Structure 1
Amino acid sequence: MSRITFEDLEALDDDDFTEDNSEPMDEEEQDRLFSHWQSVASTHQVSIPAEMAGPIQQMTRQSNAREPVPFATLSRHEKLDEVVYEERMYPAGKWACVTKGEELYEQSISMAFMKLMRYICKENSAGRYLGMTVPVLNEIQISKDGKSFVRDILTAYYLPAEFQQDPPEPLDPDIVIVQREPVRVVTRVFFGTTTEETISRQISSLWELLESTEDFLRDTYIVAVYENPGIPCRRNEIWFIRRDQ
Structure 2
Amino acid sequence: MALISLEDLDGLDDEQIAEETADGSEAREEMESQRLLNHWQAVGRTHHVSVPTEMTGPIQEMTRQNQQREQIPFTNISCQDKLGEGLIEEKVCPGGMWACVTRREELYEQSISNAFMKLMRFICKENSAGRYLGMTIPIVNIIHLTQDGSAFEKDVVTAYYLPSEFQANPPEAADPEVSIVFRPPFPVLARTFSGTTTEETLSHQIHQLWEHLGPSGDFQRDSYMVAVYTNPGVEQRRNEIWFLHRDP
**TM-score range normalised by the length of the shorter chain:** 0.7 to 0.9
SS class of match (1:168): coil
SS class of match (1:47): coil
Letter in 2 for 1:202: Q
Report what 1:200 is aligned to. Answer: 203
> CA–CA distance in 1 between the matches of 2:188 and 2:145?
17
Preserved CA contact (<8 Å) 1:222 1:239: yes
> CA–CA distance in 1 between the matches of 2:131 and 2:174?
12
Letter in 2 for 1:31: Q
For structure 1, which runs of at least 5 residues remain unmatched after alignment? Answer: 1-22
1:67 equivalent in alignment to 2:70 = yes
Letter in 2 for 1:218: R
SS class of match (2:202): helix
Post-superposition CA distance 1:76-133 (Å, at most 9, x none): 1233598630100112100000000000000000000000000000100010000000
Provide the aligned length of Structure 1 versus Structure 2. 223
Question: Greater share of helix residues, 1 or 2?
Answer: 2
Q: Return the offset for 1:244.
A: 2.8
Q: Return the offset for 1:62.
A: 0.6
SS class of match (1:165): coil
Letter in 2 for 1:220: S
Q: Return the offset for 1:36.
A: 0.5
Letter in 2 for 1:107: Q
Post-superposition CA distance 1:152-197 (Å, at most 9, x none): 0000000000000000000100010000121100001111111100
Which stretch shifts more, 133-142 or 202-211?
202-211
1:86 equivalent in alignment to 2:66 = no
Report what 1:107 is aligned to. Answer: 110
1:77 equivalent in alignment to 2:74 = no
Report what 1:164 is aligned to. Answer: 167
Q: Which has the larger radius of gyration?
A: 2
Q: Return the offset for 1:242.
A: 1.2
Report what 1:221 is aligned to. Answer: 224
Name the Cα RMSD after superposition: 1.6
Report what 2:189 is aligned to. Answer: 186
Which stretch shifts more, 82-91 or 98-107?
82-91
Report what 2:10 is aligned to. Answer: none
For structure 2, which runs of at least 5 residues remain unmatched after alignment? Answer: 1-24
> CA–CA distance in 2 between the matches of 1:26 and 1:62?
15
Report what 1:210 is aligned to. Answer: 213
Report the identity percentage: 60
SS class of match (1:26): helix
Post-superposition CA distance 1:32-71 (Å, at most 9, x none): 1110000000000001011100000000111111000111
Q: TM-score, normalised by structure 2?
A: 0.86
1:30-179 matched pairs, under 5 angstroms: 30-80=33-83, 84-179=87-182
Q: Return the offset for 1:145.
A: 1.1
> CA–CA distance in 2 between the matches of 1:145 and 1:120?
37
> CA–CA distance in 1 between the matches of 2:122 and 2:81?
39
Q: TM-score, normalised by structure 1?
A: 0.88
Letter in 1 for 2:154: R
Letter in 2 for 1:101: R
